[in-house]
Amino acid sequence: MNKERKKEKKNCTYIGGQAVMEGVMMRGKRAMATAVRDPEGKIQVEAVRVRPPEERSRFSRLPFVRGVVSFVESLIVGNRVLMRSAEVAEGDEEQPSKAEKWLAEKHKVNLNSVWNIAAIVLGVLLAVLIFVLLPQYLTGFTGFATTGLEGLWFNLIEGGIRMVIFLLYIVGISVFPTLARVYRYHGAEHKTITCFERGLPLTVENVRGCSRVHDRCGTTFLFLVMVVSIFVFSLANALAGAVIYTGNDTADFFIRMAFKLLMLPIVAGVSYEILRGLAKTQNRFFLIFKAPGLLLQRVTTREPDDGMIECAIAAFQKVYDMDADPSVPETMFATACKMSELLAGTKKRFKDNGVDEEEAEWIFSLLLSVPKSAVNTEEHILRVSQAKEILRVADERLTGRPLWYIIGDADFYGYKIRVDERVLIPRPETEELAQQVIASAEEGNKILDLCTGSGAVAIAVCKELEKKKCKVTVTASDVSEEALALAKENAELNGAEISFVQSDLFSKLRGRYDIIVSNPPYIPTKDIGSLQREVRDFEPRLALDGGEDGLDFYRRIAENAGKYLVRGGMLIMEVGIGEAESVVKLFRYCDYSIIVKDMQGVDRFVKIVF
């Protein structure tokens, strides 16, 4: 068996894990991920980045000290992820109670967090009672003294009793169905790590065929703690017993208990170094020391089903990816929680990945129907379904996809405009372009929106002039059939009477207009690659690329605009930064031209009158 294990191990990994409620937690050098199957049968993954060992203080990396640090950290983190997994596994979708709402809104206290802290405290107290007080109490009936030679026997018997209690404990909890499933997830965790170490692809079939026994298991560590504690407590008692004990049985009982608790870090440090050394060797001699822990794993692990293996693979793969690539974003569980907690977590994820934190506020505002100004000040308890929807949008936003494509619509001049990858997302400065048209239009005017895209400008002009009782005729054109289809949807959505024409600029247009408005592509081709990822990778290049110098479409418009405007007609265009003067020079045959600044003081609009 030893030779087979040695031959099979092809990959080395720092990744280790822990079984949780309906899932598995994996931890690597730089990341930790917990995968849990929720009541709907879907695997949720929560992943965070952690400080790698090499970036911690030298003191915390010293032999024996690192074992203490690891032990304390595993207690804290282990309890935290266990509680978090329970929240996902339960998937409580009930409305929060009045008490929960009152605590959240008035005192910003999450009742679930209070219960979690109470559970951790009770768990620690129960562990002290079962594994420290009870063995010491039972050993007292032997009549042995706690010092001298009899003290050695006292410690040996007490350690034996503690070991028996530990074995009964891990066997006993397996009778509970929920905890028995944790043992099966424990098996899935071991099998997955073993599968990777054997150099096999992480598939359910490959993982299923691997051993559920592993050298670096926490069960083996706990067994070593039990054994090492006997020797450490015996030695420490022999050295310090005569000094610390008072002769009063009651006082000495509690002094002895406190002394053991103080010695626990030494026990953990020594046990960690032993486990670390044993895990590095496959020598037959050291197998004797490994055997008890490995045999114990036959109790603390069970054969997992395929769904459990899928959870373990999901957690391992997420950690592996995050360890290898710093750009892989963190993820969060969707659980009932305080709005402020989820908002803070979402903002942190956005900040870490170069996304404007304000977009997190927009997500909460839009999905919860809360005024954006109140998102940072109001407090609510979110249901699981609400948290899931928020995280779905946030996760998709972290892929680079623009928020308004994810939401599916954007506000433009107070009108709801549907947007997706077929069209550009309307910008604030384009609202000012629409305002220029609205201010210039008169009763009976024929208005053309050239390169209409989503139809936002045409719709705003049409509806605002309708409010003013200024009757006009609006036509919108675009070369893209897909964009035009979406523009028609938007016109219908907003009740705007607009005629649509598919045309490459003026090629299929007939007649003359009083006003032509256009926001054509104006970004130089060479600058496309340097645009924000959200623009470069998601918005249609057809609507962005203005040719070598960004002026190709303006040249074509300059050649033909006069043929499609009435005498005294006006052409109003949006231009790129630094392009206004160059665009004006293209219109040599016009009555006059005006350059208009936007609200940021940028030369943004050009008016040409023929």
Helix (H, G, I), strand (E, B) or coil at 451: coil
Does residue 231 have a pLDDT over 70?
A: yes
DSSP, collapsed to helix, strand or coil, labels residue 266 as helix
Q: CA separation (Å) from 296 to 6, 197, 215, 293, 422?
A: 21, 22, 12, 5, 60
Binding-site residues, in ranges, read 478, 519-522
Residue 223 pLDDT class (50, 70, 90 cuts): confident
Tokens of 171: 């066997």
Q: Mean pLDDT across the stretch 435-445? A: 97
Instruction: Let me know how many helices (H) and strands (E) the chain has, helices first.
Output: 22, 15
Question: Does the global pTM surpass 0.85?
Answer: no
Q: How many Å apart are CA 45 and CA 25, to the nearest integer?
A: 9
pLDDT in tens, 246-284: 777 788 788 888 888 888 888 888 888 888 887 777 767
Mind listing the pLDDT tens digit for each residue in 515-532? 999 999 999 999 999 999
Mean pLDDT over 57-72 rounds to: 86
User: Average of pLDDT values for 421-441?
Assistant: 97
Q: Which of 593, 548, 599, 602 is nearest to 575 (CA)?
A: 602
Write out pLDDT tens, residues 163-200. Answer: 899 889 888 888 888 889 999 999 999 999 999 999 99
CA dihedral 152, 153, 156, 157 (to 10 degrees): -150
Can you say which residues are annotated as belonging to the binding site for substrate?
519-522
Number of residues assigned to the chain: 610
Q: What is the pLDDT of residue 98?
A: 56
Residue type, 128: V
CA distance 381 to 367: 14
- For residue 509, the tally of other CB atoms under 10 A from its CB is 19
Which residues line the annotated binding site for S-adenosyl-L-methionine? 478, 519
Average pLDDT, the chain: 89
207 — pLDDT class (breaks 50, 70, 90): very high
Nearest partner of 191 among 71, 289, 281, 306, judged by Cα: 306
Question: Of all residues in the chain, what percent carry a pLDDT higher than 70?
Answer: 92
